[in-house]
């Protein structure tokens, strides 16, 4: 069974996303801040990381993603964001934002499942 680490500071988002992912047969471990998130990633070595871009600071998620990549952890990262192309912020793939894909909040269950499946199959 594939293991997904879900890191977000909003308990409702954690719960809703976990339910959706579990119903599709994934195992989910969660953390509600970047430090705990880093710990569970090190301990459990998940197959996919879902990371919220904004926790306490507007770029907490980016920092964690950069830290992981610096440590040569190449687990795919799916980033939750509430700012995106819709409002004109275009992240794009770069050194600055070393993640594999984005999902814009509110997260539609179908889109989440589609993106997770795609990243896990790559």
- Tell me which long-range contacts 66-73 makes (C-beta under 8 A, separation of at least 24): 66/96, 66/98, 67/38, 68/38, 68/41, 68/98, 69/98, 73/41
State which of positions 73-112 bind another protein (CB under 8 A): 82-83, 85-90, 105-110
Q: Which of 4, 5, 7, 17 binds another protein (CB under 8 A)?
A: 17
Are 90 and 122 in contact by the 8 Å Cβ rule? The answer is no
Judged by CB under 8 A, which of 1, 12, 25, 72 binds another protein? 12
In whole angstroms, how close is the CB of 20 to another protein at the nearest point? 6
Site residues (vs another protein, CB under 8 A): 10, 12-13, 15-17, 19-20, 23, 54, 82-83, 85-90, 105-110
């Amino acid at each position: 069974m594939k293991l997904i680490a879900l890191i977000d500071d909003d308990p409702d988002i954690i719960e809703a996303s976990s339910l959706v992912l579990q119903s599709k047969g994934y195992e989910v471990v969660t953390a509600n801040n970047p430090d705990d998130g880093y710990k569970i990633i090190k301990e459990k070595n998940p197959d996919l990381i879902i990371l919220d871009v904004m926790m306490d600071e507007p770029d907490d998620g980016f920092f964690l993603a950069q830290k992981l990549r610096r440590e040569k952890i190449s687990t795919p990262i799916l980033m939750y964001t509430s700012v995106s192309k819709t409002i004109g912020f275009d992240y794009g793939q770069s050194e600055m934002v070393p993640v594999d894909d984005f999902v814009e909040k509110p997260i539609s269950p179908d889109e989440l499942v589609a993106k997770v499946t795609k990243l896990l199959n790559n």
